Amino acid sequence: MGNNPMQYWPREIENTLKRAVEQFSAVILTGPRQSGKTTLFEHFFKQSHNYVTLDDPQIRALAIADPKLFLEKYPAPLIIDEIQYAPSLLPYIKIEIDTHRAQKGLFLLTGSQQFPLMQGVTESLAGRCAVLTLLPMNWQESRFNQLPINNNISIPLFSFWVRGAFPELAANPELDSNLWYAGYLQTYLERDVRGLRQIGNLSEFQIFLQMCAARNAQLLNLSSISKDLGIAVNTIKAWINILEASQQIYSVRPYYNNKGKRLIKAPKLFFTDTGLCSHLVGLKDPVLALQGNFAGPLAESAVFGELLKFYHNRGLIPAIYFWRTAGGDEVDFIIELNNKIVPIEVKITKTPTLLHAAPINTFCKLFQKEVNQGMVVCLSDTELPLANNIMAIPFVSLAKHLSSL
């Protein structure tokens, strides 16, 4: 079994994971480092599966040099941590699966680098493997939703956003988040970044990471980052790919179903975890976060995270976009759910009004046949109708409301 497993904290993806293990010979659980992948597997399968981690250099060397011997030494059913370090194992895992086709859940694999891992899965395990993604905790999973509110839900909410949703931080309030993120970044830079691309100057990459955090929830402008950092645009593009491959950021694409409007085509950049983003920009105090210029982008990024986790926790492919026209019309998010589209605006207000719903009204006039329901996600205490088919939804009940659509 793994060493010193973290205290288990229930996760929303559990039912999806159990179904996948019952139906597929292999299950791959991807997600950023420290999102709880190993803890989740060990909690449910430590009695039925052997465990091995490729984070161990000696074990990794054996897996790379002699995959067949590796699988003899660590027989299935088996949990393999950080499978991306030895993609040469995948064809041999395929042979094992094909030899025991009737058995389900033979191999449970974790990986922190999505894109290179998925290439190996496509080549070796197509049709034999379920691929799930575990992100840091959502609001309902975290301890913050259990804190006393004292007539101001915004404080625990912003505490959650600033501290972040990585399980170890979300479950252990005594941990110093600044020290934790400093260690996390060091591990991430040394293992994931160097594992994906040979970067000589990691301090330069860390400055780039801070620049991305300062541009969180904004249109991605590669030329601007290139100019500020003094590095070629192609290098910046490659570095963005690294952040995406390790699932630290997502590029949200514009909604293209054009109805006569000239659209902005650049993607928007979002950090997967608002805590890491806050740490990178030096934001520590939730009260200051609520009052400062970063409040809007932080809230928008937090809503994006909840949307992304909603899809992934159900084993669905995320369908999240934004809408912005050259004329200035804009809706923060457009999601596709149950064959309908849902426009979503994010507002830092406890008293939402029809004015806050104006961008959604503009969108609905163009796409009225396709729209299910518009939402203004805000800091209100209860759901409130704002207009025909447009609701104000408290951030804390967003996932529950999405489930009802």
pLDDT tens for each residue of 28-65: 999 999 999 999 999 999 999 999 999 999 999 999 99
pLDDT, tens digit (0-9, with 9 covering 90-100), for 155-185: 788 889 999 999 998 778 789 999 999 999 9
SS3 label, residue 391: strand
Instruction: State residue 150's pLDDT score.
Output: 52
Region for 198 from its dihedrals, namely left if φ exceeds 0, alpha if ψ lies in -120 to 50, beta otherwise:
beta
Closest by CA position to 20, among listed 138, 118, 166, 133: 133
Is the separation of the CB atoms in 131 and 31 below 8 Å?
no
Is 134 in contact with 121 (CB distance < 8 Å)?
Answer: no
The mean pLDDT of 96-124, rounded to a whole number, is: 83
Could you tell me what percent of the chain has a pLDDT over 70?
Answer: 91
Q: Please say if the pLDDT value at position 115 is more than 70.
A: no
The average pLDDT across 376-384 equals 93
Q: What is the pLDDT of residue 9?
A: 85
Q: Is the pLDDT of residue 6 over 80?
A: no
Q: Measure the CA–CA gap between 373 and 355, rounded to whole angstroms.
A: 17
For the segment 207-236, the average pLDDT, to the nearest whole number, is 95
Stretch 252-270: mean pLDDT, rounded? 81
Measure the CA dihedral 68/70/75/76, to 10°. Answer: -80
Identity at 162, one-letter amino acid code: V
Instruction: List all residues 6 or more positions away from 195 whose beta carbon is below 8 Å from its beta carbon.
Output: 84, 85, 113
Nearest to 288 by CA among 128, 155, 152: 155
pTM summary value: 0.92
Average pLDDT over residues 244-259: 87
Domains parsed from the chain with CATH numbers: 14-133 (3.40.50.300), 146-404 (no CATH)
